[in-house]
Structure formats: structure tokens, C-alpha cells
Amino acid sequence: MKILLENWKKFLKEAVELICPPATQDLELNTRNRNNAIEAKHIQYGPLNLADEEYWDRAAEHWNTTPDVAKKSLCGNCVAFDISPRMDNCMPGPVEDDDGRLGYCWMHHFKCHSARACYTWAAGGPIETDETSAEWQEKSGDFGDLDFSFLQARSGHEVYERFCISCHNYDGRGADRETNLFADRRRLRTADSELLSSILDGKGEMPAYSNVLTYEEAQNVLQYIRESLKRR
């Protein structure tokens, strides 16, 4: 039984490495996810024109730094920017141009450019190996119509750290009223069904997570927010 389980895990790992994220194969989905990242106030993917100095001024103000420093926090060195060999194979067409190269963003699920940036940037990238790329895909659940959820539902803490912390911060108290889960005490008293709908289907600037979370995982993260974060 142990050998069978190990072989099954090996098969799943190899399978993940062969599956391209849906947005790399679907232009409409990629465009929708990219536009959401451009428009969302807490993401602000850009600039559209790399010579747009106003974008870097706004980014510098957001990060409380200088434009020159802001320009160093790019998609190209973000922890979620994937330029692994397998991801290059998922890209339909050239990946490099005079300004840099395309990669895949595991935070916001679209093909992004190394010379651009967004407010959810995190240090530690890029992703350069197939093994690390597959780990990000496995954790994000970004498999399109293929369902691997039967393996094991992620805990609320795992889900929160992977998908929620970039906007709501580690303690649930984001930078503004929209991202501060505890700014309005009535928010977490809302019925489970309504809050789960917001998580899975999206609401306002919050994107939908139904393509990367199971219903059980949405329940887990809601319970985590109510029981663990509230005590901090």
C-alpha cells in the first residue's frame, strides 16, 4: 500500500508538470484576468506604457518610497513570476521582447511582463525551475477543468496565506476599509452563505476564487478568519 501511494504521488507530480494554466491557453480568460489586475485598486498592474512616470509616482506613494526604488520592484523579480522551462512551453508564441519577457503570475493568473509591476509584488522571484513551478500550481489549484481537490482540502490558514494575505495583510486588517475585514463589525456576522458567495464568486474589487478553491476550502478560510484572525 505504501509503495502504491508513493507511486500515485509521483504520478500526480508528473501530471502537474504537464498541465498548462488555463489562462496561458485561453486569450479571453487571460485578458479578463489581466484587466481585473489593472483595474483593481489593490493590484494596479502596469504601467501600460513603460514610460508612464505617473504610474511609478503612484506606486512609490503606495509603498512609501521613491520612484527609483519602486521601479526595482518588478514582475520580473516577484516571487510569483514563473519563467520556468515548462511555462515557456505553455506560452503560445515568443516570450521575449526588447523590454524584457513574459511570464505567468500565480497570484493573479495571467501572462504578465517582467518590466511591469503591481501593488501585490513580493520579493523572492522569479520562478525558474519546473519543480517550483509545479509546486505553485499544485498549491494554487490552477488546473482549469481538471479537479485534483479529492487529494486533500487545504486548511484555512494555508488558503489565507496563499490567496488572501496580499490584500488583507497577515492579521486581516488591510490598508483601507475595503480590505480591513474587521473595520465593520457587522461584516463577519453576515450569513455563511453570503460570505462564501463573496469568496467563490467575487464581490466588488474582490476577484472570484471558484476556479482555485473548493467549497470546503472556502469554508475553511472563512472559519479561520472568524476564529483565528479575530483574536489577534
d(CA 24, CA 212): 15
Query: What is the domain extent for residue 179?
Result: 156-231
Q: Is residue 208 part of a domain?
A: yes
How many domains is the chain partitioned into structurally?
2
- Give the least confident one: 20-29, 98-107, 128-137, 198-207: 198-207
Query: Residue 207 pLDDT > 70, yes or no?
Result: yes
Residues 34 and 109 in one domain: yes
The whole-number average pLDDT for the span 32-61 is 92
Q: For residue 232, is pLDDT > 60?
A: no
Higher-confidence position of 6 and 115: 115
Please indicate, yes or no, whether residues 163 and 114 belong to a single structural domain of this protein: no
Q: Which three cell numbers stand for residue 13?
A: 507530480
Task: Write down the pLDDT at residue 20.
Answer: 87
- Identify the CATH number of the domain in which residue 216 sits: 1.10.760.10
Query: Is 135 inside a domain boundary?
Result: no
Residue 82 within a domain = yes
193 located within any domain: yes
Question: 52 and 115 in one domain?
Answer: yes
- Looking at every residue in the chain, the average pLDDT score rounds to 82
3 pLDDT above the threshold of 70 = no
**Is 5 part of any domain?**
no
Residue 64 has pLDDT above 80, yes or no: yes
Asked whether residue 15 is domain-assigned, the answer is no
Residue 79: the pLDDT is 93
